[in-house]
Structure 1
Amino acid sequence: MHIVEAKGILSAKNGMNLYRGCSHGCIYCDSRSSVYHMDHDFEDIEIKGNAIELLEAALKRKRSKCMLGTGSMTDPYIPIERKIGNVRKALELAERYGYGFSLITKSDLILRDLDLLKSINEKTKCVIQMTLTTYDEGLCKKIEPNVCTTKVRFEVLKELRRIGIPTVVWLCPILPFINDTEENIKGILNYCSEAEVYGIICFGMGLTLREGSREYFFRQLDHLFPGMKEKYLQTYGMQYQIVSNKNDELMQLFHHTCEKNGIVHDNRKIFEYLSTFETKCDNVQLSLFDKDFAGKSPNGI
């Protein structure tokens, strides 16, 4: 690990990266791509030493409350978070100043912060997004080796549901010839249904490969699935967008299962939900409106 001093912390859309780099070891990780201009080894975690000070200053300056987010580039709950605690400190600031929060993770380390997540959700909105790719536990340990397995993440989703925190699942990536099976998709969707997730984000059955991430992915294929790299090259060449030849049937299964179980599966609607700040006062007013004016037009007719 190494420490840097950052110039800023929040993006234009109020996202943040408290760390850069990751130690989960997922073989498909797009964040390894050279397009992100990371000038250090991916496993050499960059810590923004002044992140929390920058965040507090930014929150104090804001004229209106909003949803804060993290996890799009680096899983916030990498093991070093146990020592550094920047994610917990960021959650404490969000709770103190009345901001909503959403994050993406694969780690059960999030259970450490249930008290803050619950407190934020009681005041505003807290949404936890969790990536699920592989129902088979053995296969999961191969392609996502240094983080908890899908079954453990499923238990986390159920615990979040138990305390009233809404959840969203990222069903991606799906690796052709590896986990693009009906059994895999059904298993993940059954987990999502049982955990009563709000929605599932899915861009199709496949993955993206570009310079930096492609080379790492192919090296891992050689190590874990001998002969698979050649199959990818023969089928897809050096394409950026890798789409399973089972995409149509698996997406049909995905949409049908979500519809049947009342899970939101429109990506646009989910992203709108994730970015919309609300307070519990707003929810109470909406609930009263629904109860008193159900079936009426805005003019009361």
Structure 2
Amino acid sequence: MFRGLSAFPLTPVNETGIDEKAFVALIQRLVAANVDSIGALGSTGNYAYLDREERLRVLQLAIHAAEGIPVMTSISAFRTLEVLRLTEDAQRAGASAVLLAPISYQALTDEEVFSLYEQVTRSLSIPLCVYDNPGTSHFHFSDEMHGRIAELPHVSSIKIPGVPMESEAAKTRIRKLRMVIPSHVTIGVSGDSFAVTGLNAGCEAWYSVLGGLFPKACLNMTRLAQDGITDEAVRLSALLEPIWTLFHQYGSLRVVSAAAEICGIISSPSLPLPIQPLNQSAREHLKLILKELQSTEAFSSSFG
């Protein structure tokens, strides 16, 4: 399941609770597009703002609505004890895989992070994806650390935070990481603006925020890259540069939630406080971008 497009949908949530109906509608869009896998409760899925009971409920909804498409869920938490509890919940609920980032209030050492993955993999019976996301976890994986963790049982993929934008530099980055991990462990790129470059450089998967809302567009780019039609994949990604720019300016979570509201899939407010929605000026700009993308031949059936 750690190949192709793994779509990470938003979990619409505000101070009154989770909008379950809207969340299921988002999952149904992914099913209709036939994505390769679904990443429930990723960073865009607001896992960090939900308690254990809420996370289990969202996972159950995702699995039920996924119609057999594999569902991966985050088990990240501050304490190893809580990670192990979430691991148990995920396995009992029927998740196909788990996603783990080493998050902590106190800065973690390499040995503390390795110990976390070692303890979790002992209790697993399903695959694990290592979530390398220094922007939120503030832990920077070395290739040596990736190599050590990748040798643990059940570790099946690494979700890297992006690649160099220059093609040859990206290929060099992937080759370097590939040299220190087992052949069965795939490399998946996140950071949507880097995705096509990463896929063209040899990443097997795209762990996608935009794919969680607009799966058709992202699945098309993924298939083009997988089929070696690299120039067309690059061209389509370039057309999405206005969205990538907003992601970098405001964070992908705010942009995706605003886009889902603009498209009428979810209602406002859809983010947990203290996170504020996209400001009005940026929202109007996003509305124009979506309208323009919908009018292009390449994305006419993908946006909206």
Structure ID, larger Rg: 1
Q: TM-score, normalized by length of structure 1?
A: 0.42
